[in-house]
Each structure stands twice: as structure tokens, then as C-alpha cells.
Amino acid sequence: NNWNERRKTRNEEQVYLLGLRDEFQFNQQALLKASRINETNLRHALELIKYTGPGTPQLTESQFDSLLYGSIVNEVQFLPSPGVLNEITNSGKLGNFSDVELKKALASWESILSRVRFQEQEEVQRTRLGILNFLSDKVNERRGSYAKYGAVVGFGPSKFKGNNQNVLQLEEFENKLLEFIFTNTFLRDNYYPQLRERIDLILSLINQNIDPSS
């Protein structure tokens, strides 16, 4: 009976390992997608901040709109697949895994994920919304979004005259843009690399423990 129970436990572990491999391969691609969005936002923001302040070269309205919307229109969020690991954890089956290192790596996954989520939501998202809220009463949003979204949504150009790029001369805008750049840079250089390393480690340990005959 003990032998039979051990066999059933090992078989169940193999099923979970296969599910975890699919899950963390998905997470690997989800992180790549989030990293690319963050990198695109950061690249546009770094280009835009070159034009803030007096005495800088003038942008056309279309260039300004392209850089601004390229910086803040897309939210950065890593969206992992939660299913298999949650099932293992909630059912108490993690303790049945034979590889101690894999158990440790899986058990600490949520804490690493929480740190990344904090940086994404409390820092990057906060500074992104700070720019959006600041711009809401400083620019003509219809003028700024018409070229990109007018035909899609179904509205024409604004009849109001003016230049949205005038915000480039506002020190407060430069400060908010710089804060946005800092939070995105920390996400790119510190948080996402740690997450990437953990995903790679987990996948490596999973592959080491999968029975080739499974």
C-alpha cells in the first residue's frame, strides 16, 4: 500500500510538472510582452524629454502627439497564468514535490510577483496617471488624439486653435515626465530582470524533474 501511494504521488507530481511547464512558458512570453511595452513607453518618454524647457528645438504637433501617446497610452502590466500553481498551493500538494529547490522557487514566486505588481501599479501606473491627469486641463485632447483615433472612434478634428506642445515649456510637466521615466527604468532594470531569472530557474528545475517518458 505504501509503495502504491508513493507511485500515485509521483504520477501526480509528473502531471503537475507538465502543467507548470506550460504555465511558466506562458509566463515567460507574458513577461516578454510587458517588457516590450515598458521599453517602448520609456523610449518615447526619453525622446520627449529632450524637448522640454526653453531654448529647445520645436516639435511639430504630430511629432509631439506621437511621442506623448507613445509614452503613456499603453499600460504596462505583467499578467501571468495563475491556474496550476494556485491549485497546487491551495490543495497543499506542493509539499509532495520531491525537488527541494523547486519547492522553494515555487513557494517564493508570489512574493516576487507582489514586488513587481507594486512597482507596476503603485509606481509606474501612478506616474502615468499623474501625466494624464495633468494634461487633462492643459491640452486639447481631441486635437491630440484625432490623428491616431479619430477615424477609428468616429470624430473629426478639433475646431479650437492652439498648440498642445506648449506643455513642453512647463516645468511641472518635465517633473512628471521625469518621474515616469525613473519608475519605468527601475521596472526595466531591477524588477523585470529578477522576475525573468525566477521564471528561467523554475522552468529549468521543472525540466530536470520531468520524467522523459511522461
pLDDT tens across 33-63, in order?
999 999 999 999 999 999 999 988 888 888 9
Of the candidates 86, 202, 53, 183, the residue with the CA atom closest to the CA atom of residue 129 = 183
Q: How far apart, in whole angstroms, are the C-alpha atoms of residue 162 and residue 164?
A: 7
Is the pLDDT at 122 greater than 80, yes or no?
Answer: yes
Q: How far apart, in whole angstroms, are the C-alpha atoms of residue 93 and residue 11?
A: 13
Q: Which amino acid is at 71?
A: S
Its sign, for the CA torsion 180, 185, 186, 187, is positive
- The overall average pLDDT reported for the chain is 93
Task: Kindly report the pTM of this predicted structure.
Answer: 0.90
Q: How far apart, in whole angstroms, are the C-alpha atoms of residue 188 and residue 171?
A: 26
pLDDT tens across 149-192, in order?
888 889 998 899 888 999 999 999 999 999 999 999 999 999 99
- Asked if 27 and 199 count as a contact pair (C-beta separation under 8 A), the reply is yes
